[in-house]
Structure 1
Amino acid sequence: MQIQPDWKQVYSAANPMEAELLVGLLQHQGIQAGVRSQGMVGGIGELPLDALHTPVLVEPDEFQRARELMLNYESKQNQIDEWRCAHCGEENGANFEVCWQCGHSKGEREVDSE
């Protein structure tokens, strides 16, 4: 998709992968969206992904609707709860179904060894 010069930035994604995910979300809602390359893609592997903030752009007449979707996306990201492994006590992000430290499942309960 060709990004036009009058398109507006609706979101600053943390990295190019998040930006493409959000473009897909917007397009699924019927909003024309795209990512303008900032010339730092060559830094992938050399720079931390956090240094690769990527603007998500939309047509001006779709800005308000797209912004509401981005605010909804942000609020859902902030609601993600961590969980503590019953086996080893390690904190895990909500997106983990298995403890990254010991491999026990999220719903597993600690079994007494008596």
Structure 2
Amino acid sequence: MKNVLINALLFILLSGCSILKSEKIYQGSYKEHNIELSFLNSKKGRIIINENDTIPFAYKIEKNRINPKTNKINDVEFYVYRFTINAEYELDFPIGFYEIGQKGGDLLQGNDGIILVRKRN
């Protein structure tokens, strides 16, 4: 009986750790770049460009009712992602995304028609 209890507790701890380590990954493309946006935790993440350049960033999510494209107030909530990237990195694409109606959904929309889709494991 003691071994069953120890194994059950070990299983619960190991399965809980895998949930905590889960990161959100969004993928898409812009012109000739393949872009992967990886949110490591609630404050930090990284951009992977063409599977070889990695750029770390800090971010925060702001909730508001102003549509980022039209600047008009709507009934639907928008979640705007604000990024902080070190100035030594030069990007060939605009970095700014928002979600409509829910945070942590399947699509991140950006300027110039960039759409990133959430990768499910």
Bigger CA radius of gyration: 1
Larger RCO (CA within 8 A; separation ≥ 6): 1
* TM-score (normalizing by structure 2): 0.28
Larger proportion of helix: 1
Larger proportion of strand: 2
* TM-score (normalizing by structure 1): 0.29
